[in-house]
């Protein structure tokens, strides 16, 4: 176990670092317009981050000890198809969730 002083030091340092990162964008750059090239690159942030967060949970799910299972693959496929066809975030989340629970129900 970590001692209380080290724990609180890490918590405060991370809190200060998080505040500093937000302040740079909101406090210092908030009233200024950003360059066009930067805005063009920032549009792809969500497109790059979301698959990086979701892919490990589908391919190496902690719930199964890192083994791929059909319900999660079916849910990822359903969410991807609905997102591609409809461009609806809520529709793809609902389709993926529904397919996941349907897969769990069918697999027992």
Question: Domain-by-domain residue ranges, the chain?
Answer: 1-32, 46-107
In this structure, are residues 59 and 53 in contact, taking their beta carbons and an 8 Å threshold?
no
Burial of 96 (0-12, 13-18, 19+ CB in 10 A): buried
Give per-residue pLDDT as tens, 6-54.
999 999 999 999 999 989 888 887 788 888 998 899 888 888 898 899 8
Mapped onto helix, strand or coil, the DSSP state of residue 30 is coil
Helices then strands, each counted (H, E), the chain? 5, 0
Q: Is the pTM of this model over 0.75?
A: no
């Amino acid at each position: 176990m970590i001692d209380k002083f080290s724990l609180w030091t890490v918590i405060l340092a991370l809190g200060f670092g998080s505040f500093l990162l937000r302040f740079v964008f909101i406090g210092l750059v908030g009233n200024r317009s950003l360059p066009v090239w930067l805005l063009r690159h920032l549009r792809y942030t969500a497109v790059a981050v979301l698959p990086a967060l979701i892919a490990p949970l589908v391919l190496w799910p902690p719930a199964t000890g890192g083994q791929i299972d059909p319900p999660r693959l079916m849910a990822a496929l359903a969410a991807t198809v609905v997102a591609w066809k409809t461009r609806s975030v809520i529709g793809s989340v609902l389709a993926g969730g529904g397919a996941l629970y349907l897969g769990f129900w069918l697999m027992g």
